[in-house]
Amino acid sequence: MKVIGINASPRKGANTLTIVETVLKGAADKGAETKLVSLSGLDMRPCLACDACKENLGHCAQKDDLTPLMEEMATYDAIVLGTPVYWFQVSAQFKILIDRLYCFYGREVNAETGETKEIYAFPAGKKIVFVTSRGDPEDTQTFPHLYPHMNDWLKSVGMVLLASSVEIIHHYGSANEKDAARGNKELIARAESVGASLV
């Protein structure tokens, strides 16, 4: 069992990283092989909308650190995706990853019927965990769009979300309390439990 954690927070040692690390620890304690990647340390370029990937589905033509990472992600059994929420949406680093995963999505036309079918180069059956961190109270109505958007994006590249394999871990606190998650015993226990459930 292999689990990769993607931390899309630009802040070092902050809440998103803490929770992603804790999910990975829960999986590792159950015997999983784990890896953590922080996007802020990578040479990452935005999608160029060149469509070169449609000629070689699943392979982005750009030569930066994100191209091999996306191909590596496809080899893992479970993926932990962590992002802070900035200005009502995922971080800029996370959005670049979302856009670049477009390389796994394609369409083919049936020559006989003319019908178009969606095809996916990303292997099916991954377990997906979303980790989010934001400073708003839990009952806020500000973010009802956020998780459906993530779900739609995943389905668009062939990752099917099943209720039994998806957990969304929320952390709420002041935007300046970057160590808040570390001191939240209930949150840490839940994150470890989610990680263990992946194995």
Q: What would the two tokens of residue 22 be?
A: 């804790």
pLDDT at 161: 57
Asked if residues 85 and 150 have their Cβ atoms less than 8 Å apart, the reply is no
Task: Over range 182-188, report the average pLDDT.
Answer: 88
Is residue 49's pLDDT more than 60? yes
Q: How far is CA 18 from the centre of its chain?
A: 15
Q: Which of 1, 16, 9 is nearest to 132 (CA)?
A: 16
Please list the residues that pair with 12 across neighbouring strands. Answer: none
- The domain in which residue 28 lies consists of 2-197
CA angle 95, 97, 99 (to 5 degrees): 70
Query: Which domain CATH number covers 10?
Result: 3.40.50.360
Tens digits of per-residue pLDDT, 95-113?
999 999 999 999 888 888 8
SS3 percent helix, strand, coil of the chain, rounded to 5, is 35, 25, 40
Is residue 158's pLDDT more than 80? no
The total of structural domains in the chain comes to 1
What percentage of the chain exceeds 70 in pLDDT? 88
Task: Over range 45-57, report the average pLDDT.
Answer: 95
pTM value > 0.85: yes
Is residue 2's pLDDT more than 60? yes
Task: Give the CA distances from residue 162 to residues 10, 17, 43, 168, in Å, rounded to whole numbers and listed in that order.
Answer: 29, 24, 32, 12
Is residue 164's pLDDT more than 50? no
In the numeric block, the tokens 């992002």 are attached to: 83
Task: Over range 163-169, report the average pLDDT.
Answer: 58
Is residue 193's pLDDT more than 60? yes
Q: What would the two tokens of residue 52 be?
A: 């070169």
Tens digits of per-residue pLDDT, 132-143?
888 776 555 556
Is residue 89's pLDDT more than 90? no
Which amino acid type is present at position 134?
R
For residue 128, give the H/E element and its range. Answer: strand 127-134
Question: Which of the 8 DSSP states describes residue 141?
Answer: S
Q: At what angle do helices 15-29 and 185-197 cross, to 10 degrees?
A: 50
pLDDT at 65: 98
CA–CA gap between residue 12 and residue 51 (Å, rounded): 34
